Amino acid sequence: MRVSVSSLLAALLAVSTPTPLTAQDPLAVARSYLEAYGEFDLERLRPFWSEASVFADPTAAELGHSPAPTRGAAAIEATLRAAIAPLLDLELVYDECFHAGGQAVGIGRLRYRLAGADFGPGYDDPTFDVRVVSVLRLAGGTVLEHTDYTDLSGFWGRVAAARRADAPPVFRTVGLAEAQELVRAATRPALVLFAAPGCLACRRMEVEVWSDPRVVAALAAGSLALRLDPRELEAAAEAYDVRAYPTLVWLEGGLERARLAGARDVRAVLAWFASPVAETGEPPRSAQAAYDQALELFTGASDPARTARALAEAWTCIGASAEATPLLRWLRRERLPTLMAEVARDPRGRRELEALLVGLPAAGPGLDEPAELLGDWLTVLQVLGEHARRDAWLAAALASARGRSALGGEPQAFAWLVARERWAEAGALADAQLWNHWLARHAGLPVGEPVADAIPAPALVHERARAADELATFVRALHAAGRTAEAEALAARLAAGR
Domain boundaries, the chain: 16-152, 168-274, 285-359, 408-498
∠ CA 149-150-153, nearest 5°, is 130
What is the 3-state secondary structure of 32-59?
HHHHHHHCCCHHHHHHHCCCCCEEECHH
| pLDDT band, residue 450 (cuts 50/70/90) | very low
- The answer to whether 269 and 246 have CB atoms below 8 angstroms apart is no
For residues 260-266, give the mean pLDDT: 81
201 phi, psi to nearest 5 deg? -65, -35
CB 127, CB 117: distance < 8 Å: no
Q: Give backbone dihedrals phi and psi of 10, rounded to 5 degrees, phi first.
A: -60, -40
What is the per-residue pLDDT for 17?
42
**What end-to-end distance do the CA atoms of the chain give, in Å?**
87
Q: What is the rounded distance in angstroms from the CA atom of residue 328 to the CA atom of residue 333?
A: 9
Q: Which CATH class is domain 168-274?
A: alpha beta
Quick one: pLDDT at residue 138? 92
Q: Are strands 87-100 and 103-114 parallel, antiparallel or unpaired?
A: antiparallel
d(CA 30, CA 245): 46
β-bridge mates for residue 86, sequence order: none
β-bridge partners, 247:
194, 261
Mean pLDDT, rounded, for 351-374:
79
DSSP 450: S
CA nearest neighbour of 354 among 340, 339, 333, 367: 340
Q: Give the residues across from 260 on adjacent strands.
A: 248
Lowest average pLDDT, out of 383-387, 423-427, 460-464, goes to 460-464
User: Tell me, what's the pLDDT at 136?
Assistant: 94
With CA atoms as reference, report the closest residue to 123 among 86, 156, 152, 87: 156
CA nearest 390: which of 403, 399, 381? 381
Record the pTM.
0.55
Q: Count of CB atoms within 10 A of residue 344's CB?
A: 24
Q: Is the pLDDT of residue 399 over 90?
A: no
Pairing of strands 127-139, 103-114: antiparallel
Q: Which residues of 92-125 are buried (b: 16+ CB within 10 A; e: fewer)?
A: bebeebebeeeebbbbbbbebbeeeeebeeebee
User: For the chain, what percent of residues have pLDDT higher than 90?
Assistant: 14
Give 103's strand partners: 100, 137
More confident residue, 410 or 114: 410
Instruction: Tell me the CB-side half-sphere exposure of residue 225, using CA atoms within 13 A.
Output: 15
Would you say 320 and 448 are in contact if contact means Cβ atoms under 8 Å apart? no
Residue 220 is predicted with a pLDDT of 81
| 138 beta partners | 143
Residue 469 has pLDDT above 90, yes or no: no
pLDDT at 483 over 50: yes
pLDDT tens figures, 272-312? 888 765 443 344 456 777 788 888 888 876 788 888 888 88
Contacts (Cβ under 8 Å, ≥6 apart) of 465: none
Instruction: State residue 155's pLDDT score.
Output: 64
pLDDT at residue 123 tops 70: no
Residues 256, 248: contact at Cβ < 8 Å?
Answer: no
Residue 29's pLDDT band, with cuts at 50, 70 and 90, is very high
- Residue 367 contacts residue 402 (beta carbons within 8 Å): yes
Beta bridge partners of 134: 106, 148
- Answer yes or no: is pLDDT of 264 > 60: yes
Tell me the pLDDT band of 210, cut-offs 50, 70 and 90. confident
Tally the residues of the chain: 498
* CATH topology identical between 16-152 and 168-274: no
The dihedral through the CA atoms of 197, 198, 202, 206 has a sign that is positive
- The alpha-carbon radius of gyration of the chain (Å, integer) is 28
Q: Is pLDDT above 80 for 121? A: no
- Total Cβ atoms within 10 A of residue 412: 16
DSSP state of 244: B
Strand, helix or coil for residue 174? strand
Average pLDDT estimate for 103-129: 71
pLDDT computed for residue 46 by the predictor: 93
Matching CATH number, 16-152, of 3.30.70.1050, 3.90.79.10, 1.10.3720.10, 3.10.450.50: 3.10.450.50
**pLDDT of amino acid 145:** 94
- CA 379 → CA 357, 382, 412, distances in Å? 11, 5, 8
State the chain's mean pLDDT as an integer. Answer: 79
pLDDT of residue 154: 64
Q: Are 414 and 432 in contact (CB under 8 A)?
A: no
* Residue 449 predicted with pLDDT over 50: no
